[in-house]
Copies of this chain bind each other. A is one copy, B any other.
């Protein structure tokens, strides 16, 4: 696990080389010597977002600029070899949930090596704006992702047991591996066990027994597994973990089975995961401040949880209206126009044709609109709902994650009494504080990860939603314009 603690003293930057924006990519053209203001340094991929003196905002390559007043950074790094051997033993003795409050043990064996974090290469990717963001996870230069695709029906025991097998293709190797839903579930259990105290691990899409071979269900589950996997891939700690790497790129059946057995025996789970963090070089944290931050996170996640649930409720109602009464009403309007047209045709009056043709066309247009209205939620509301559902899942994990930290803080607050009562030594108290600090750093890094992902996700989903909404209303206008043109102006 690796931290970067970045404190940005200034967001002013000097442009080192000319850069010409490519149109449509939200880039910003800058000239050598120009002073720009960094507005978002969490973009990744070698880009930062900056604003020029004319107020224009866009992306600029990180290498083309130099931050004026510099920033400090710290790294906390560890390898995955369970360095705190003493804790491993204790952990297996039912110790895990109180680790942060236990003064015993010493930290050993921290070496700086990690699949995705190479030396001093890591950019502080989660700070932005003027002021201080605090600890962030060290993000890999290359963002892992994967594709979940090609669901196939498989069978076992001479066809007695059927299941759906998905292909998972990591963008790193581009080599597909096969997984059934129960494998994803196994991965979820492992990640929850190992990282659940530090990182919210959202649940997998619901299991379903009946109808699980129906096309619609398989498509929806695949889409949700894709969303879940992409979110896991985006997390630097999870995506670099041995178990996750195993899941994405096992060589063969034997490799998978051996890896599974090893992961199931992993003892660096629960709060023990914090023991893999190197606290050296980190500034000491004030416990009052830690508590306040924790409380702020708590309030925020609860408020967002309410907001997300509210949006989901409204979205569900809107969905129902858009697929139920509203298209039915447009259909009835369409039928009423067509019915009137039929009546007009029966008049026996010559010269009805122009009107009745136009009226029939208008009626059919409203029937088409009815269908468009009914199908629209799948094109826009669906993604807004899926994203908010994902966030609902994520936010539901935070109370536990925050609870672990709160308990640690409480223990540290009691430490003075314990020292006075001779139950622990002053040195034990210092160790306890250090560990609570580490947990707080971890929580802050996780919150910063959550925030930057949230900003990215909501930007993306709102764009997608509004884009589809625009298309929808434009198409209705276009259809009605055509219907209008068929009436004769007199």
Chain A residues close to B by CB (< 8 Å): 25-26, 39-40, 42-43, 49, 57, 59, 127-133, 296, 299-300, 303-304, 306-308, 310-311, 314-315, 317-318, 321, 325-326, 329, 332-333, 336-337, 339-340, 343-344, 346-355, 358-359, 362, 447-448, 451-452, 454-456, 458-460, 462-463, 466-467, 469-470, 473-474, 476-477, 480-481, 483-484, 487-490
- Known contacts: A43-B490, A349-B133. The answer to whether A336 contacts B314 by CB under 8 A is yes
A451 touches B129 (CB 8 A): no
Closest-CB distance, A327 to chain B (whole angstroms): 12
B451 touches A296 (CB 8 A): no
Tell me which residues across on chain B come within 8 A of A314, comparing CB atoms. 329, 332-333, 336
Say which residue of B362, B477, B487 sits within 8 Å of A477 (CB atoms). Answer: B477
Q: List 18 A-B contacts (CB under 8 A).
A: A26-B489, A26-B490, A59-B490, A128-B351, A130-B350, A306-B343, A307-B339, A311-B336, A314-B333, A326-B326, A344-B454, A344-B458, A349-B451, A362-B462, A362-B466, A470-B477, A470-B480, A474-B477
Give every chain B residue within 8 A of A127 (Cβ-Cβ). 350
Q: Is the CB of A350 within 8 A of B129?
A: yes
Residues of B within 8 A of A130 (CB): 350
Instruction: Kindly provide the distance from the CB of A44 to the nearest chain B CB, expressed in whole angstroms.
Output: 9
Q: Is the CB of A348 within 8 A of B26?
A: no
Q: How far is the CA of A482 from the CA of B476 in the complex (A)?
A: 18
Q: CA of A362 to CA of B317 in the docked complex: distance in angstroms?
A: 19
Partner of A460, one of B332, B459, B467, B490: B490
Are the CB atoms of A484 and B455 closer together than 8 Å? no
A336 touches B310 (CB 8 A): yes
Measured in the bound complex, the distance between the Cα atoms of B357 and A458 in whole Å is: 12
Point out the residues of chain B lying under 8 angstroms from A333, CB to CB.
Answer: 314-315, 318
Contact between chains at B308 and A57 (CB < 8 Å) = no
Q: Per a CB cutoff under 8 Å, which of B39, B352, B354, B355 touches A351? A: B39
> Which of A299, A333, A473 lies at the interface centre, i.e. has the most chain B CB atoms within 10 A of its CB?
A473
Count the copies: 2
Residues in B with CB closer than 8 Å to A351 are 39-40, 42, 128-129, 455
Report the separation of the CA atoms of residues A355 and B470 in the bound assembly, to the nearest whole angstrom: 19
Least Cβ distance of A456 to chain B in Å?
6
Residue numbers in B under 8 Å from A128 (CB-CB): 350-351
Closest A-B pairs by Cβ, 5 of them: A129-B350, A128-B351, A466-B484, A26-B489, A473-B477
Interface-centre pick from A26, A131, A336, A337 (highest chain B CB count, 10 A): A336
Nearest chain B residue, comparing its CB with the CB of A456 = B490
Give chain B residues whose Cβ lies under 8 Å from the Cβ of A348: 296, 300
Interface contact B362-A458, CB-CB below 8 Å: no
Docked Cα-Cα span, A128 to B354, in Å, equals 12
Which chain B residue lies CB-closest to A336? B311
Specify which chain B residues have a CB less than 8 angstroms from the CB of A460 in the assembled complex: 490
Task: State whether A307 touches B336 (Cβ < 8 A).
Answer: yes
**Which chain B residues border A303 with CB–CB below 8 Å?**
343, 346
* Chain B, residue nearest A331 (CB): B314
Q: In the complex, what residues of B have CB within 8 A of residue A317's CB?
A: 329
Kindly list chain B residues whose C-beta atoms are within 8 Å of the C-beta of A452.
Answer: 349
Chain B residues contacting A467 (CB-CB under 8 Å) are 484
Choose one: B307, B355, B474; the contact of A340 (CB below 8 Å): B307
Residues of chain B within 8 A of A490, CB atoms compared? 26, 43, 49, 59, 456, 459-460
Q: A355 — which chain B residues lie within 8 A by C-beta? A: 455, 458-459
Partner of A487, one of B131, B463, B483: B463
- The smallest C-beta distance from A359 to any residue of chain B, in angstroms, reads 7
Besides A318-B333, A349-B447, A362-B466, 15 other A-B contacts (C-beta < 8 A): A40-B354, A42-B351, A130-B350, A133-B349, A300-B346, A317-B329, A352-B455, A355-B455, A355-B459, A358-B462, A362-B462, A463-B487, A469-B480, A470-B481, A473-B480
Is the CB–CB distance between B308 and A347 below 8 Å? Answer: no
- Which residue of chain B is the closest to A40 with respect to CB atoms? B351
Chain B residue nearest to A484 (CB atoms) is: B466
Q: Bound complex: CA of A300 vs CA of B340, how far in Å?
A: 11
CB distance from A302 to the nearest CB of B (A): 10
Report how far A463 CA is from B362 CA in the complex, Å. Answer: 10
* A133 proximity list for chain B (CB < 8 A): 349-350
> Quick one: given A458-B355, A469-B480, are A343 and B307 in contact (CB under 8 Å)?
yes
